[in-house]
Amino acid sequence: MAASSPTERVPRTALVTGAASGMGLAVAERFLAEGWAVLGVDRDADALGKATGDLGSAFRPVPVDITDRGALSTALGGATGLRAVVNAAGIYPPTSLADFDEATYRRIFDVNVLGTLNTIAETVPALRAAGGGAVVNFASIDALAVSRGQLLYSASKAAVVTLTRSLGVELAPDNITVNAVAPGWVDTPGTRAGGRIEQAVATIPLGRAARPEEIADWVWTLCHGSYMTGETLVVSGGLTVR
């Protein structure tokens, strides 16, 4: 992505979904530390309000459900200076063939796939108006090396990998890169709540889970490349190469 001129009147802005916690919050913090403004999108208004108090005035909270495109469009109306879009929002309730149901299927795919598409569709006009920019989607190692008990989550993240490829081609003429990051185990409150991280760490060659800020570093890098698009970067501590 081309660097912005220091004389620009409109500050560079990144939109981050899932910005109230976990990796989304870490990404928002990274962009803020680099002097960007951040539109922090999350459906949890209370958590978003707390993040706003912690992060300061350059962080603009946008409490909205990304599965509702109309509401998202209204909430984002008039956004300017947008140069990066990071789709970090996602849910991962455990499922298997024996216990999945239609409601869970729709909830996972609505957030992880439809929500990502809605966000990109509603922000591409602003990226075009800025002369281009970057989109980074959150896939997962489970899209490539599935985990037992994550049937629908794995399928949804595989869909994110494929839509990243398709949109990389579709948006290339607009000078918009579209890439994905596929984290392995990351030490977030949500991951710890699942109760499997301690056992999983023993299987990681680097011997630990990633810190959220380490994933944010790679997101930052993907938002500043000019000749990489449609790709998925695996950040797993060596888990996929054993």
- Average pLDDT value over all residues in the chain: 93
Is 153 noted as a catalytic residue in this protein? yes
Q: Catalytic: which of 92, 105, 153, 227?
A: 153
Count of CA atoms in the C-beta half-sphere (13 A) of 97: 0
Please indicate, yes or no, if residue 200 is contained in any of the structural domains. yes
Please indicate, yes or no, if residue 240 is contained in any of the structural domains. no
What residue ranges in 29-73 does DSSP mark as E strands?
37-42, 59-63
Q: Residue 39: what pLDDT?
A: 98
Q: Residue 5: what pLDDT?
A: 45
Beta bridge partners of 133: 176
Please indicate, yes or no, if residue 241 is contained in any of the structural domains. no
Element (H, E) at 120: helix 115-129
Q: For residues 96 and 152, is the Cβ–Cβ distance under 8 A?
A: no
Number of Cβ within 10 Å of residue 35's Cβ equals 9
Domain that holds residue 180: 13-235
pLDDT digits 0-9 by tens, 93-110? 999 999 999 999 999 999
The number of domains in the chain is: 1
Q: Which residues of the chain have pLDDT under 70?
A: 1-10, 194, 242
Please indicate, yes or no, if residue 48 is contained in any of the structural domains. yes
Which amino acid is present at 126? A
CATH number at residue 175: 3.40.50.720
Number of Cβ within 10 Å of residue 145's Cβ equals 15
Sign of CA dihedral 230, 68, 65, 148: negative
pLDDT digits 0-9 by tens, 176-187? 999 999 999 899
Q: Residue 199: what pLDDT?
A: 82
